[in-house]
Amino acid sequence: MVNKPWKIIPRPLLETVLNNHAQHHRVPQPLILHGPRGVGKTTLILERLLGEWNKGPHLTGYVDFAESIKDHHPQFNQSFPWASWSNCPPPTLPNCRTKLENCLESMAHKGVQLGSISSHQIFSTLSKWHGLNTALRRVIAGNGASKNAVSEKVSGSVLWDRAVFALSARCNAQEIDGILGLTEKKKNVPLEEASYYREAVVALRLAKEVIKQQQSWRANAIAHLNRTGGFSRSLANSSTDWPCLLLELLSQAAEIDHFQPKLVINNVEVLKNAILLDENSSVCGSMYHDSLIWRIIALGANERCFPVVLVTSDSYYSYQAYMDFGFPDIFISREAFGWSPQEAKLHMVNDYFSNSEWSVIAEVFGPNPRHLFELYALKQANYYQQLEDNKDSTFEDIVDSYLAYLQITVVNPAMDKALGLLQKFAADARSGKISKDRLRFGAPWRHPPPKNNPTMCLEWAKIQLMDFVQSLINTEFGINYLADCSLEIMDDPSAGALVEVGLLYAQRDPSIIRPISRGIQRCIVRWLVQERMQMSFPKFLQYKWQRIMRGRSYRHLMLQVGYK
């Protein structure tokens, strides 16, 4: 028999690891905090720590890319989705970029106020990666003057000083003083010091203007790249030049007990699916995402970066991201699996549920914090009070209602999207986009419909998905994808589809692919039973033939006894 793959990292230990990472002013690697949905990464961990990370010399920037998805975010009186963010309408890339850049700019302004970032530092960092002379001459010339207003023999540093002076004359002085807090009555700063700070703020604006100009010169090349679907490292990096310059400036300015910035990016996976509105302005969302992370890694490896914490519920970041970005130790990995049953009982029983109610919840849903909070909210609602008035009703009725809610609003739509991904796989296989290695002899998915018939494709996809779910049930919902280096599960399009839609999670330690919660697991089984009941006799025969002749069997990838 197998051990259930619900390994728990105690939350105090996880918080200690995150605190230790955040206390450093510069680190060689970004940290990824990942784990299944509903285990409390944001509500039980981040919200407890962010206050401590903003005291004294500490300054923490917080960016949540999912805030742009207003219909599915608590910031707008909604709730987090149970399935993947990819099932929700994707945000726009300009919106995500603006959130990140505004956060980093506000942190840089704080560094200027503390005297840690100067105009000279901005110039030296910018000139290390960019040729500045042409862009600086254009800034100095402005809209009306001649481009030859400055001698060709002038050095870059002189050009920079002149450009800062020219731009400062066009800036709103009150706005700059407001950024620096110099308009406050209690703020008494010497004139020379105030001028030094103002110059640094204008220098930041100049650096942004220079990068903006240089990116506009690449607009046609970026548009061509987006149309052809190609890849260019230089064009991708040009889209992330401004946030990465701010990252480098803040890292250089970091100093223990004086200015210790750190950055938390929540739901970083949303960036991969962000929609590009203007093909001239930036590379696509996935390329922008990869470039940003690549450059954070490079900054940490080459010069040390201030602490960056990436928070995600996408299991891509638990294992595959480490391979795509280099090697297994390219990030610091910390997985969160939520409460253990004992911890959940300690937090929720007595104050929220009775012992008899808890025994039902533990059996049906497990100790997942979000399930517990949603059940308690449902228990407090008027619907539950009406059930209590009916003497024939029990707490099991509210559990059944909640399961039905998960089935209809979460699992069934996610399974429909997974079917769409399998149909796309069939179309790609017909067009030759799938490598022959994935369609090798003996693979259950090797023979998709040979014709572009939507009905046949849907039937094939449904049989494939049902076959996979049945094999998952046979493994007791725990597939060890690293056992004996057995990575063939990664080639299974059904496994990939269910992971992508967020119903399965490929955790890293132990290396198990399993449903994100016991409640979602029950709904997946219900989906299989419902589909089998609705099958006509000919379709049922096709399904049985698939199970007998080509069916999946992943029992050899079950979690072995004693595995740790």
Note down pLDDT in tens along the chain; length 564 residues. 233 333 334 456 788 889 999 999 999 999 999 999 999 899 888 888 999 999 999 999 999 999 988 888 888 888 888 988 988 899 999 999 999 999 999 999 999 999 999 999 999 999 998 888 888 888 888 765 554 456 666 787 889 999 999 898 888 888 888 888 777 755 677 888 888 889 999 999 999 999 999 999 999 999 999 999 899 999 999 999 999 999 999 999 999 999 999 999 999 999 999 999 888 889 999 999 999 999 999 999 999 999 999 999 999 999 889 888 988 789 999 999 888 888 888 888 888 898 999 999 999 999 999 999 999 888 887 666 666 666 556 788 889 989 999 999 999 999 999 999 999 999 999 998 888 888 888 889 988 998 888 999 999 999 999 999 999 999 889 888 887 666 778 889 999 999 999 999 999 888 889 999 999 999 999 999 999 999 999 999 999 999 999 889 888 887 654 443
What is the DSSP secondary structure assignment for residue 407, as one 8-state letter? I
- The tokens describing 422, both together, are 């399998």
Residue 551: count other Cβ atoms within 10 Å of its Cβ.
Answer: 16
Rounded Cα distance, 284 and 301, in Å:
26
Quote the CA–CA distance of 423 and 419 in Å, as a whole number: 6
The amino acid that residue 321 corresponds to is A
- What are the percentages of helix, strand and coil residues in the chain, rounded to 5? 60, 10, 30
CB 30 within 8 A of CB 50: no
Strands of the sheet containing 308-312, edge to edge, are: 58-64, 260-266, 308-312, 31-34, 332-335
pTM of the model: 0.90
- Helix (H) or strand (E) segment spanning residue 480: strand 479-480
**Do 97 and 282 meet the contact criterion of CB atoms below 8 Å apart?**
yes
Q: Which of 506, 498, 518 is nearest to 83 (CA)?
A: 498
Q: CA end-to-end span of the chain, whole Å?
A: 15
CA separation for the pair 83, 206 (Å, rounded): 43
Amino acid at 136: L
Using CA atoms, how far apart are residues 175 and 343, in angstroms rounded to an integer? 50
Q: At what angle do helices 369-380 and 341-348 cross, to 10 degrees?
A: 30
Residues 207-235 as b/e (b if ≥16 CB within 10 A, e otherwise) read bbbbbeebbeebeeebeebbeeeeeeeeb
Reported as type and span, the H/E element at residue 94 is helix 93-113
Q: How far is 456 from 430, CA to CA, in rounded Å?
A: 13
